[in-house]
Amino acid sequence: MAVTTANRLELLQVADAVAREKSIDHEIVLEALEEAIQRTAKTTYGAEHMIRAEIDRKTGEISIWRLRETVEEVEDTTTQIPLSRAQEMNPDARVGDLISEPLPPIDFGRVSAQAAKQIIFQKVRDAERDRQYDEFKDRAGEIISGLVKRVEHGNVMVDLGRAEAIVRRDELLPRETFRPGDRVRAFIYDVRRETRGPQIFLSRTHPRFMAMLFAQEVPEVYDGIIEIRAVARDPGSRAKIAVISNDSSIDPVGACVGMRGSRVQAVVNELQGEKIDIIPFTPDPATFIVSALAPADVIKVVLDEDKNRIEVVVPDDQLSLAIGRRGQNVRLASQLSGWDIDILTEQEESERRQQEFQERSNMFIEALDVDEMIAQLLVSEGFDAVEEVAFAPLDELEEIDGFDEDVAEELIRRANDYLARLEEALDEKRKEIGVEDAVAAIEGLTPAMLVKLGEAGIKTLDDLGDLASEELVSDTNAPLRDSDLSLDDANRIIMAARAHWFDDEDTGEATGDAEEETAVVEESDD
Rounded to whole angstroms, the Cα distance separating 513 from 519 reads 10
Q: How far apart are CA 413 and CA 399, in angstroms?
A: 18
Helix (H, G, I), strand (E, B) or coil at 295: coil
The domain spans of the chain are: 5-131, 137-203, 437-507
State whether the Cα torsion 188-193-199-203 is positive or negative. negative
Domains 137-203 and 437-507 share a fold: no
Residue 244 has pLDDT above 90, yes or no: yes
Mean predicted confidence (pLDDT) in 25-37: 76
Res. 520: pLDDT tops 50: no
pLDDT tens readout for residues 384-427: 888 888 888 888 888 888 788 888 888 889 999 988 898 888 88
b/e code 400-437 from CB counts within 10 Å (16+ = b)? beebeeebbeebbebbeebbeeeeeebbebbeebebbe
- Averaged confidence pLDDT in the chain: 83
pLDDT digits (tens, 9 = 90+) for 333-384: 999 999 999 988 888 888 888 998 999 899 989 888 888 888 888 888 888 8
CATH fit for domain 5-131, picks 1.10.240.10, 3.30.930.10, 3.30.1480.10, 3.40.1190.10 = 3.30.1480.10
Position 524 scores a pLDDT of 45
CATH number of 437-507: 1.10.150
* Model confidence, pTM: 0.60
Does residue 253 contact residue 261 with C-beta atoms inside 8 Å? no
Average pLDDT over residues 214-233: 93
- Tell me how far apart the alpha carbons of residues 221 and 209 are, in angstroms, rounded to a whole number: 14
Amino acid present at 219: P
CATH for 137-203, among 3.90.25.10, 2.40.50.140, 3.90.245.10, 3.20.20.10?
Answer: 2.40.50.140
Residue 91's pLDDT band (cuts 50, 70, 90) = confident
Tens digit of each residue's pLDDT (9 = 90 or more) over 122-181: 777 777 787 778 878 888 888 999 999 999 888 999 998 878 899 999 999 988 889 999
